[in-house]
Amino acid sequence: MVTRISIWVAVAAWAGVIAGLLRGRRGRCLRFTWTIGLVAYLLHVMAAFAGFYRWSHAVAYAETARQTAEQTGFSSGFGLWLNYLVAALWGIDVARWWITGKVRPEGMMRKLWWGWHVFLAFMIFNGTIVFGHGPVRWYGVAIFTVLAAIAWRAMLKPLRD
């Protein structure tokens, strides 16, 4: 139960921050939401390792490979390493935001920052829509549909001004 609720909170936090950024928001509320998302994601990882994988990377890797084979026909546990990367990058981004007070980094780092968010969107899309079932899949469809509508509106706004 903790595993599911915590990932839903993390995904909702991500979606809320992305929606806020697309709408031009920059306040402390977004930074706090981003931090809550990280904490929820880390709680999700710990709950999954405790409840499903007996604190074993090998068990988690094998289960990830099995699930990937079920969905794609390609047996690989590489997705587990991508989840570790999400935790590290999210932690770095939260720390950067708190230290600098800026939503996005400047200069060349801005491209990496955008790449990070595209990567995270890819992971969330796969986790909810590709690998998700039932309500999880519909939760993902709803989130990406709403974000697409907000992005579309944001792109059209300069045309209306």
Which tens digit of pLDDT belongs to each residue from 46-72?
A: 999 999 999 999 999 999 999 999 988
Non-local (6+) Cβ contacts of 125 within 8 A are: 140, 144
Domain span at 94 = 2-160
Torsion, Cα 21 23 27 31, to 10 degrees, reads -30
Please compute the mean of the pLDDT values over residues 27-45 and round it to a whole number: 96
Backbone φ/ψ region at 42: left (φ over 0), alpha (ψ -120 to 50), beta: alpha
Q: Is the pTM of this model over 0.75?
A: yes
What mean pLDDT value characterizes the chain? 92
Q: Do 141 and 129 form a contact (C-beta atoms < 8 A)?
A: yes
Cα-trace Rg, the chain:
17
Asked if residue 43 has pLDDT above 80, the reply is: yes
Whole-number pLDDT of residue 160: 58
C-alpha angle 111/108/94, rounded to 5°?
65
Per the structure, how many domains does the chain have? Answer: 1
- Lookup result for tokens 């992005």: 151
Nearest to 125 by CA among 114, 113, 141: 141
Whole-number pLDDT of residue 159: 62
- Tens of pLDDT, residues 129-155: 998 889 999 999 999 999 999 999 988
Whole-number pLDDT of residue 147: 96
Write out the two tokens for 112.
């990496």
Could you give the percent of the chain with pLDDT greater than 90? 77
Largest Cα–Cα distance of the chain, in whole Å?
A: 56
- Size (the chain), residues: 161
Whole-number pLDDT of residue 71: 85
